[in-house]
Amino acid sequence: MVERESLAARAGWAVRSWWLIAGMWARSMLTYRTSFLLGLAANVLITFLDFAVLILMFRHTRQLAGWTLAETGFLYGTSSVALGGANLLVGSVSGLGERVRSGTLDTMLIRPAPALAQLAAERFSLRRLGRLVQAFVVLGWSLTALDLRWTWDRVLMVPGLLLCGVVIFCAVLVGCSCVQFWWGDAAELQNSVTYGGATLLQYPPTVFAKEIVAGTVFGVPLAFVNWLPALYVLDRPDPLGLPVAFEFAAPVVAVLCVLAAGLAWRTGLRAYRSTGS
Amino acid sequence: MAGVYVAVACGAFRRYSTYRAATVAGVVTNSVFGGILASTMLALWHARPGLGGYDARQAVTYVWISQALLMTVAVWGGGFQDDVQARFRSGDIAIDLYRPVDFQGWWLATDLGRAGFQLLTRGAVPLVLGSLMFELALPLRPLVWAEFLLAVLLAVVVSFGVRFLVSVAGFWLHDSEGVRAAMTVLSMFFSGMLLPLALFPGALGELARVLPFSAMVQLPADVLLQRRTGHSLVTLYAFQLAWAVALLGLGRVAQALAVRKMVVQGG
């Protein structure tokens, strides 16, 4: 094992490890079929109540900061698909602090599979599909309700936006979890970035102060998940007046985010010292 | 005898005070969500000034009060629930039942201790931060704050009553995770945590106002916003108290039924 394998081979092995472990957890859960289906149905209903709040708000006004319900529904759907997808794929990473504390991270480090893939697939739950299903339903509804001329570039933008959004949120989830290498109790801190961020993106950017919107462009780059590409799809002006190139920059940002998250993970893992007990 | 419960409550207070990093992280999260939701309320009240009888400043204040209550009143669930559920799984619950103190009273005492700590940290700090970021309509008279604290105390007891019933369901279901998830949603939605109940339409609004969840966020917020004073304040307390007594009573009945059914495995 002295010679180093190619990057592609290692990435392939990581994905395969994730797939095997996640598949194992999924099979074990599907053994209790009724319980699983009930849990999934409950999950879909639960996340719908979230959207019910938006509907209730729009019962009192036709527009929120200049955006209609269909447009806000598009933001809600895309934001939830991005977070839901990322949560399905790597959501378990947030249990890192608990593993560092209890010492079970060591078990993962000595197994012949990438630790990050193991951590991301651990306790993989198909119930998380519930949020994704609900998000796609809302997104589908908003696409039919939107009063838009659907040109080819706009149509293609939607799947591209979702894909980049999932990748960006995956990177944010992994990157934020790395804080737990040093500060194990602070798991909730990342909720303010992930769940807080997703909630932020569910509303029109014009609702918030310009400084906050600028923070999601130049700070934690969540604006590239849906706000900026949505401006192009929905044909709306940019509240910050940024160049049009920003509306197409999501793939570049997604790659940068993944690199940053990878760096954070490596730094954290190097700094990790086992409890030794 | 009361001394035991006071000691238990103090112990819970001190236990939570040791989770320093988690408390700081939680305060940040509450403040971030407070900022986001306050902005959305400002946008809504900009379009519809005076909606639901609140002006824009009161609506923003409502958001920050609800964030202050989220953990204190455990609208999400949690607190003693996590401990009890773990003890159901491990079987340690049997030990709790033959202790020479009241089972329900013991856990209520721990939950009041927890709520006290979280009111001082995750309640007070986001409210102060919120008043720095936004213009809030908070009262100046100390009496209103005292009235608010009483409403919060009753809110915690009502919330405990609901969570206790969910936990006791664990006797029958072995795992109350599913019931708990459903209850979390109902309680987030109907407590007024996400949106003031005045904005709920027709029958949904009527339903929300009679359910116990409204006692958890909407009513304490009404007290601090001085929307309920004098006679109306007394009926508010009566509503909270009635639900608290009913839920605690129901919890005792459920517990008695559960204990008769329980079999402890030896080993």
Residues A136, A162 contacting (CB under 8 angstroms): no
Pairwise CB contact (< 8 Å): A196 & B51: no
- Quickly state the pLDDT bin for B174 (edges 50, 70, 90): low
- DSSP secondary structure, B203-243, as one string: HHHHHHHHSGGGGTTHHHHHHHTT-S-THHHHHHHHHHHHH
Q: Given an 8 Å threshold on Cβ–Cβ distance, is A60 in contact with B32?
A: no
Residue A180 has pLDDT above 60, yes or no: yes
The predicted pLDDT at position B265 comes to 62
The pLDDT score that the predictor gives to residue A37 is 83
Which chain B residues contact residue A45 at CB under 8 A? 185
Q: Would you say residue B155 has pLDDT above 90?
A: yes
Tell me whether A32 touches chain B (CB under 8 Å).
no
Average pLDDT over residues A50-76: 94
Chain A: residue whose CA lies nearest to B183: A46
pLDDT, average across residues B12-19:
92
Whether residue A2 is predicted with pLDDT greater than 50 in this model: the reply is no
Contacts of A34 in chain B (CB under 8 A): none
Q: How far is CA A163 from the centre of its chain?
A: 10
pLDDT at position B236 is 97
How far apart are alpha carbons A100 and A266 in whole angstroms? Answer: 15
- A-B contacts at Cβ under 8 angstroms: 94
Give the span between the Cα atoms of A48 and A53, in whole angstroms: 9
Nearest-CA distance A40 → chain B (Å): 10
The two counts, helices (H) then strands (E), for chain B are 13, 0
pLDDT at B39 over 60: yes
- Give the per-residue pLDDT at A44: 86
A206 CB neighbours in chain B (<8 A) are 43
Q: Say whether pLDDT at B229 is over 70.
A: yes
* Cβ partners under 8 Å of residue A2, min gap 6: none
- Residues above pLDDT 70, as percent of chain A: 97
Task: Give which of A192, A195, A227 to mutate to test B binding, by max B Cβ within 10 Å.
Answer: A192
* pLDDT for position B185: 84
Comparing A275 with B102, the larger pLDDT belongs to B102
Q: Per the CB < 8 Å rule, is B201 touching A56?
A: yes
A-facing residues of B in 26-45 (CB < 8 A) are: 26, 28-29, 32-33, 35-37, 39-40, 42-44
Give the per-residue pLDDT at A276: 56
Question: B263 falls in which pLDDT band (50, 70, 90)?
Answer: low
What is d(CA B61, CA B138) in angstroms, rounded to the nearest whole number?
A: 7
Answer whether B200 touches A (CB < 8 Å). yes
% of chain B beyond a pLDDT of 90:
74
Q: In terms of Cα–Cα distance, which of B69, B51, B47, B70 is closest to B59?
A: B51
Label residue B175 by pLDDT band (50, 70, 90).
low
Supply φ then ψ for residue A67, to 5 degrees.
Answer: -110, 145
Distance CA B171, CA B88 (A): 8
Residue B135, Cβ density class (10 Å: 0-12 exposed, 13-18 middle, ≥19 buried) = exposed
Query: What would the mean pLDDT of B188-205 be, rounded to a whole number?
Result: 93
pLDDT at B109: 96
Mean pLDDT for A199-211 is 94
Please report the ipTM that was assigned to this predicted complex. Answer: 0.88
Cα–Cα distance, A12 to A27 (Å, whole number): 22
**Torsion sign over Cα B73, B78, B81, B87:** negative
Q: What is the pLDDT of residues A78-130, one digit of tens each?
A: 999 999 999 999 999 988 988 888 888 988 998 988 999 999 998 888 888 98
Interchain proximity A49–B36, CB inside 8 Å = no
State how far residue A214 is from chain B, nearest Cα, in angstroms: 14
Q: Nearest CA of chain B to the CA of A23: how many Å?
A: 23
Contacts of A202 (CB under 8 A, 6+ apart): A54, A72, A75, A76, A79, A80
Among B199, B133, B135, B41, smallest CA distance to A64 is for B41
Q: Quick: pLDDT tens for A143-155.
A: 999 988 899 999 9
Residues B15-32: what's their mean pLDDT?
A: 91
Report, as an integer, the average pLDDT of A26-53.
83
Do residue A186 and residue B21 have CB atoms under 8 angstroms apart?
A: yes
Instruction: Give the nearest partner residue to B26 out of A46, A188, A206, using CB atoms.
Output: A188
Would you give the DSSP letter of residue B260?
A: H
The predicted model scores a pTM of 0.90
Instruction: Answer whether B21 sits within 8 Å of A192, measured CB to CB.
Output: no
Decide if A52 touches B, using CB distance below 8 A.
yes
pLDDT for residue A270: 92
Mean pLDDT taken over chain A: 90
Average pLDDT value for residue range B10-27: 91
Contact B185 A49 (CB under 8 A): yes
Residue A209 backbone phi and psi in degrees, to 5: -60, 145
Decide if A187 contacts A97 (C-beta within 8 A).
Answer: yes
The confidence score (pLDDT) of residue B259 equals: 81
From A56, A61, A188, residue closest to B22, measured CB to CB: A188
Instruction: Please determine, for residue A48, whether its predicted confidence score (pLDDT) is greater than 60.
Output: yes
Give the mean pLDDT of chain B. Answer: 91
CA nearest A268: which of A129, A77, A93, A149? A93
pLDDT at B257 over 50: yes
What confidence tens digit (pLDDT) does each residue in B45-78 have? 999 999 999 999 999 999 999 999 999 999 988 8
HEC secondary structure over chain A: CCCCCCHHHHHHHHHHHHHHHHHHHHHHHHCCHHHHHHHHHHHHHHHHHHHHHHHHHHHCCCCECCECHHHHHHHHHHHHHHHHHHHHHHHHHHHHHHHHHHCCHHHHHHCCCCHHHHHHHCCCCHHHHHHHHHHHHHHHHHHHHCCCCCCHHHHHHHHHHHHHHHHHHHHHHHHHHHHHHCCCCCHHHHHHHHHHHHHHHHCCHHHCCHHHHHHHHHCCCHHHCCHHHHHHHCCCCCCCCCCHHHHHCHHHHHHHHHHHHHHHHHHHHHHCCCCCC
Chain B residues close to A222, C-beta within 8 Å: none
B36·A39 Cβ contact <8 A = no
Distance from C-alpha of B81 to C-alpha of B61, rounded to nearest angstrom: 30
pLDDT at B135: 94
Question: For B23, how many CA atoms within 13 A lie in the half-sphere containing its CB?
Answer: 20
Interface membership of B20 toward A (CB under 8 Å): yes
Tokens of A3: 């010679």
The answer on pLDDT for B266 being more than 60 is: no
Number of other residues whose CB lies within 10 A of the CB of residue B83:
17
How far, CA to CA in Å, does A205 sit from each of A72, A201, A219? 10, 7, 15
